[in-house]
Structure 1
Amino acid sequence: MKISSKQVTDKWTEFTLVNDKQMSVSLLNYGGIITEIMVPDRDGNRENVVLGFKNITDYQANPAFFGALIGPVAGRIEKASFQLDGKTYPLEKNDGENHLHSGSNGFHQVLWDAVPFQTNEAVGVKLRHQTDPKNGFPGHVDVTVTYCLTNDNQLTLDYHATTDQTTPIALTNHSYFNLNGSAKQEVTNHYVTFNSNAFLELDEKLIPTGKTIEVDNSTFDFRTGRFLKDGTTTASLQHQVANDGYDHYFLFDGNGHVQITEETSGRTLDVRTTQPGMVMYTSNTLEGGMELAEGQSGSYMGVCFETQGSPASLHHNHISSILLKPDKIYQEKTVFSFGIQA
């Protein structure tokens, strides 16, 4: 196993983690952005299975949040404000009248303090950042996110945060996966399985209404598995408001475990998380024409598994809270395991 680094701009460093099976993960200290994940297919061909820019400097703006760490609060906050202990906190309106992925001061545009490490079992990078209230959220928050690659082709993201004032925290990673490799085709052929009995209903602005919808007898039922194309070709209201696909928060029933397979390449992805749910986004609104490492961007070219708590809880009390108090520690983990279909 080994880890290498290279300076890609005056301030940005790209780290590359390589295990003994020649799987590799590359990431930036800027935004904690995963730029590339190279894994073999069933014939041993190593290809990139995440979307990323061809030109590294395009991550400066990164409107699609390719590969980025999202926080302090991932997702949309209704009307770009929330109330806490009788005080209203206004936020940047960067998604119409709403607030998305913590705005221009979000973690995706932070230069993180980065420390690479290597043990007998793994290689990784530990990223750290300390916030202040200028981002609109209360308190000073100390955040550490650790990326770790093992010889079992497991990429682990460990999230840790503390605060000096009660504040919302919902961290995630926004990688767009495409197990076809080198973005050769859309992800509609990916077969996905996870245990969720319900998801949060969205309005026409993609804001959760607070209502949960049971998945029974619908294209939102992944309990026994289904192809992603089922949600891109079905004319139901919830798919229509999400621009013909999935962009919904699913509540996990029990442990968070997502299985993804792609038949042509034979690649598999197994996602396990301590988080209570995830937003699954099939890049329905991904802007076309951006120059990616593997070609041009476009709808359905990647799928995000944004394991996280839901910011809808800031407006709907019956949804699990994302508030972190000063006497508590935010500690969550998501593990991405890559393999080959038997």
Structure 2
Amino acid sequence: MHAQTDSTPGITQAPFGSLPDGAPVTEYTLVNRHGMRVAILDFGGIIRRIHVPDREGRFADVALGFDELEPYLGASPYFGALIGRYGNRIAKGRFVLDGHKYALATNNGNNHLHGGDRGFDKVLWQAEAVGDELRLRYLSPDGEEGYPGNLDARVVYSLTDDNEIVVRFSATTDKPTPVNLTQHSYFNLAGIEGCGDILGHEILIDAAGFVPIDAESIPLGGVRPVDGSAFDFRQARTIGSRIGEQDEQLANGQGYDHCFVLDRPAGSRAPVRAVRVRDPGSGRVLELLTQEPGVQFYSGNFLDGTLAGKGCAYPFRGGFAIEPEHFPDSPNRPDFPGTILRPGELYETESRFRFSVDS
């Protein structure tokens, strides 16, 4: 952990290797007037680094990721990536839309996960730095990974002087298609250099219910109240406080890997606070504000030390993800909020990852 240098506000860019077809990959670094830095690749829209201060003003990188491009090309666990067309799972990789049956890639056991074999995390986005914004665009062709319609997807990243990473998604289509875009960063607020786990982080989730899942992480149906369970984070407590309890849902997720149904004011589309996470040791705090109806909280259950980057072999539960999104398997669940985008409609959603320190 170290003092921050080269903190001129703005956006700079530098090469970050090449894809197998020779296409160059670029890393864009956003810096605000407080010296917070966020590095983003045009490949996968990946947030590779997030440098933020602790309560003593010492900066550290809090985003899990890799030093080079190659690991991102393989079976990386979506470190920092944009996810599409559909974040989370679709049962059996199948859905029916307007009487037509569609079959998607089954890349997670029997099910479809995070857009398939080559989701939006594995494509090169068109990138442009405009003022304090990094604007990304990807044209997903009709039939890609089994999805109908040509989807014009756009993402705008910005870094505010309030230490917020703002992520604004938009999309249009020429055929009805499911759309559920999200951002999949893994965080360790103690700093990556420490190579520790996140079980001592305190988390608050503004959700009175969650989506229960089966052993394949597919929704069982409906929403279950968090009352009296290991899923009640309405008051802040450590991630590790109940993660080892004998609980069928914890067993099915091998820890927390569930969509929490956020408490939102009726009819409001304004971003609301969904999650607050605090690392007591460093004093770093992360809040997620979102327009989405849910957030997938994942406690890094499949990290096992075999993936390494930035001087750390990422240990079991060495990072957490808080993915703002609609609910899993919504195309097959008419009781869940809809995820179908139709021609003439505009998909828009905004989430903010706000960093601060406690007193």
Q: TM-score range by the shorter chain?
A: over 0.9
AA aligned to 1:252 is: L
AA aligned to 2:261 is: L
Change (3 A) 1:13 1:104: same
1:239-286: per-residue Cα shift (whole Å, max 9, x none)? 11111x200011101144211111110000111000010110001112
The separation in 2 between residues aligned to 1:189 and 1:338, in whole angstroms, is: 18
Cα distance, 1:210 vs structure 2: 1.5
Cα distance, 1:287 vs structure 2: 4.2
1:213 aligns with 2:224: yes
The separation in 1 between residues aligned to 2:176 and 2:193, in whole angstroms, is: 42
Matches for 1:1-342 after TM superposition, within 5 Å: 1-10=9-18, 11-118=24-131, 123-132=132-141, 133-184=143-194, 185-243=196-254, 245-254=255-264, 255-342=272-359
Cα distance, 1:124 vs structure 2: 2.5
AA aligned to 2:11 is: I
1:172-230: per-residue Cα shift (whole Å, max 9, x none)? 01100110112522111111112211111110111111132110011111112221102
Change (3 A) 1:78 1:256: farther
Cα distance, 1:105 vs structure 2: 2.5
Tell me what 2:3 maps to.
none
Cα distance, 1:58 vs structure 2: 1.1
Change (3 A) 1:155 1:143: same
Q: Which moved more, 1:176-185 or 1:261-270?
A: 176-185
Tell me what 2:5 maps to.
none
The separation in 2 between residues aligned to 1:29 and 1:317, in whole angstroms, is: 35
SS in structure 2 of the partner of residue 27 of structure 1: strand
Q: Does structure 1 retain, via aligned residues, the 8 Å contact 2:42–2:127?
A: yes
Identity of aligned residues (%): 36
SS in structure 1 of the partner of residue 13 of structure 2: strand
Q: TM-score, normalised by structure 1?
A: 0.96
1:273-305: per-residue Cα shift (whole Å, max 9, x none)? 000101100011124311221410232111100
Q: Does structure 2 retain, via aligned residues, the 8 Å contact 1:256–1:275?
A: no
1:94-138: per-residue Cα shift (whole Å, max 9, x none)? 1111111111221001100000122xxxx2310001111232111
Q: How many pairs are equivalent?
A: 337
AA aligned to 2:10 is: K
Q: Does structure 1 retain, via aligned residues, the 8 Å contact 2:207–2:274?
A: no
Q: Does structure 2 retain, via aligned residues, the 8 Å contact 1:14–1:26?
A: yes
Q: Does structure 2 retain, via aligned residues, the 8 Å contact 1:128–1:144?
A: yes
Q: TM-score, normalised by structure 2?
A: 0.91
Cα root mean square deviation, aligned: 1.2
Q: Which runs of 4+ in 1 moved over 4 A?
A: none
Cα distance, 1:235 vs structure 2: 1.6
